[in-house]
Amino acid sequence: MTLTTLGLPAIRRDDDEPPAEMPRSGPLVDTFGRVATDLRVSLTDRCNLRCTYCMPAEGLDWLPGDELLTRDELVRLLTLAVTRLGITSVRFTGGEPLLYRELEDVVSAVAALRPRPEIALTTNGLGLARRAQALADAGLNRVNVSLDTVDAEHFAAITRRDRLTDVLDGLSAAAAAGLGPVKVNAVLDHDSGLDDAVELLEYCLRHGYQLRIIEQMPLDASHLWRRDANLGADEIFAALAAHFDLTPDPAPRGSAPAQLWRVNGGPATVGIIASVSHAFCSACDRTRLTADGQIRNCLFSAEESDLCVLLRRGADDDALESAWRAAMWRKAAGHGINNPDFVQPQRPMSAIGG
Ligand code: SAM
Ligand code: SF4
């Protein structure tokens, strides 16, 4: 069996001298004045599905266990993010975050922080039916469940696993546990995607879920993404508009990545996230922490800041805070996917956290 190597970043920083002009307190800002308040935390790079646009059929060579943050290291960094860096929203993701055994425990540790952040989860939904209530009890506020089609055959072809029913059960358990508004994240297949989108929207309208369709991005581990093979936001909108009456949602968009459309007069909406065709980097409010303790200031960043090494060298909270601030200070203006010199990051989406 050949495993695709998990790419490590070209530049990994662990000995930063913070830039003199960087603020040492207050919000987590970059040189363009953007403020990061939304933390994406990847709990594991492992997964129990094999979505074609994310990882190869045989999986990846997972991050070594001794390089992963321990539960205590993770909670220390989350505490620092909320109490010193102004993080108001924490989203757990992966890999598949439900594979992380201490998820409920970490959720309840974050829920105990003050000011209490909003806590969300992005999951493929496998096993959610069993755990939704315990997660809600621990303090989880909302879930996004990834589901690209409600056609069982298409689901098996896209994820390489025959598990559609488990995902649908997970969705209804999340709604029953009050983890709403329950959102469905869909990445469309180039062949069946436009039909899948129409069926998905009908399904979500029937069940009261909010559908968000995301353009495929060049973040697959096998580096097979091709711009001309992918469905763009305009094409997706046209396919939906042929079946539904779509009008722009009047609510202000703020830093939300999805452009929202009211469906058949509302109040239901559908969102299209045009990460590639209409990038929204100028409103980005994200910072990212990987399972092995790297700060990434962008999904597409070529460099990372190694908080795991700093922690294990005995760094105090001031040093960790300063390294996190310096990482965000260096954030680029945009992801550059549409620039002629764009280079796909070596670390794939499953090891960054989407
Ligand atoms: N396993 C969980 C899941 O699928 O929800 C969490 C991790 S997954 C990497 C997070 C989100 O990233 C999912 O909604 C997934 O569809 C999306 N995703 C994965 N690869 C992508 C790609 N190449 N382009 C756009 N979105 C992608
Ligand atoms: Fe797993 Fe999520 Fe990647 Fe699918 S998108 S393979 S569920 S990490």
Residue 7's pLDDT is 53
The domain of 335 spans: 3-351
Q: What does the pLDDT profile of the chain (354 residues) look like in tens digits?
A: 334 555 555 466 665 678 889 999 999 999 999 999 999 999 999 999 999 999 999 999 999 999 999 999 999 999 999 999 999 999 999 999 999 999 999 999 999 999 999 999 999 999 999 999 999 999 999 999 999 999 999 999 999 999 999 999 999 999 999 999 999 999 999 999 999 999 999 999 999 999 999 999 999 998 988 888 889 999 999 999 999 999 999 887 777 778 999 999 989 999 999 988 888 899 999 999 999 999 999 999 989 999 999 999 999 999 999 999 999 999 998 888 888 888 898 899 999 998
Joined together, the tokens standing for residue 85 give 């860096």
Whether 87 is in the pocket of ligand 2, judged by its Cβ within 6 Å, is: no
Cα–Cα distance between 169 and 128 in angstroms, integer? 8
Minimum-distance ligand to the CA of 212?
A: 1
For residue 217, the model assigns a pLDDT of: 93
Q: Is 284 annotated as a binding residue?
A: yes
Based on C-alpha coordinates, what's the Rg of the chain?
A: 20
Q: Please provide the size of the chain in residues.
A: 354
Contact 303, 315 (CB under 8 A): no
Helix (H) or strand (E) holding 266: none
Tell me, what's the pLDDT at 2? 38
Atom in ligand 1 nearest the alpha carbon of residue 349? 9
As a whole number of angstroms, the distance between CA 347 and CA 55 comes to: 11
Taking alpha carbons only, the member of 17, 67, 56 closest to residue 293 is: 67
pTM of the entire predicted model: 0.95
How far apart are the two ends of the chain, measured CA to CA in Å?
Answer: 27
Question: What is the SS3 assignment for 144?
Answer: strand
Please identify, by atom number, the ligand 1 atom nearest to the C-alpha of residue 186. Answer: 16
Pocket of ligand 1 (CB under 6 A): 47, 53-54, 93-94, 96, 122-124, 146, 185, 187, 214, 216-217, 219-220, 349-350, 354
- Alpha carbon distance 178, 140 (integer Å): 10
CA angle 172/173/177 to nearest 5° reads: 120
Instruction: Provide the domain count of the chain.
Output: 1
Question: Residue with the nearest Cα to atom 8 of ligand 2?
Answer: 95
User: Strand ranges (DSSP E) for 11-71?
Assistant: 11-13, 28-29, 35-36, 38-42
Distance 265 CA to ligand 2 centre (A): 33
CATH number for position 267: 3.20.20.70
Place of tokens 């299209």: 272
**Please, which residues bridge with residue 142 across strands?**
120
Q: Residue 6: helix, strand or coil by DSSP? A: coil
Cα–Cα separations (whole angstroms), residue 271 to 101, 106, 332: 32, 30, 26
